[in-house]
Amino acid sequence: MGIEIERKFLVNDTSWKKSIRAVRCRQGYLCLGTGVTARVRVMDDIGYITVKGGGEGITRSEYEYAIPAIDAEEMLDGLCIKPLIEKNRYFVEHDGMVWEVDEFFGENSGLVVAEVELEREDQIFSLPGWVGKEVTSDSRYFNAALVRNPYTNWKG
């Protein structure tokens, strides 16, 4: 069974962004069901389709498969709920862990979040200095939620 265990944080500053390559990401959602989402994504000219299910705590089921990029682009343009999620993803190593920092554009411009994937829920890890408030359980920061209520629409 595919599972994902991750924690998500807001980013305080840009000190993490030292000569790190960005991977451009476009993603959209085919299905935004209750507890289940079906996502299409193109990263670095590779297409992916992902199904995520509900879970317990910070653990949830996740199944991701590579698909032809041209198929993913067609699904993004013709089948996915708008707006699409547009972001740069950076992979930042800190204390033996790889953090994924997402810098959003378009309808979610101004939002920067960092995620770290864990092997188990109680795994201990150190926080980089550029990491701020934890938003793991704040559903507003889920990418699927950012389609329904983009960051640029939030008030204070």
pTM of the model: 0.92
Residue 156 has a pLDDT of 61
- Give the model confidence (pLDDT) of 132-150 as tens digits: 999 999 989 999 999 999 9
pLDDT digits 0-9 by tens, 53-107: 877 778 889 999 999 999 999 999 999 999 999 999 999 999 999 999 999 999 9
Active-site choice (29, 63, 65, 90): 29
pLDDT band with cut points at 50, 70 and 90 for residue 2: confident
Q: Which of 40, 44, 50, 43 is nearest to 72 (CA)?
A: 40
Per residue in 35-52, pLDDT tens?
Answer: 789 999 999 999 999 999
Q: What domains sit in the chain, N to C, each tagged with a CATH number?
A: 3-153 (2.40.320.10)
For residue 90, indicate whether it is catalytic.
no
Supply the DSSP string of 7-57, one letter for each residue: EEEEE--STT-SS--EEEEEEEEEEE-SS-EEEEEEETTEEEEEEEEEEET
d(CA 80, CA 147): 10
Q: What is the pLDDT of residue 25?
A: 97
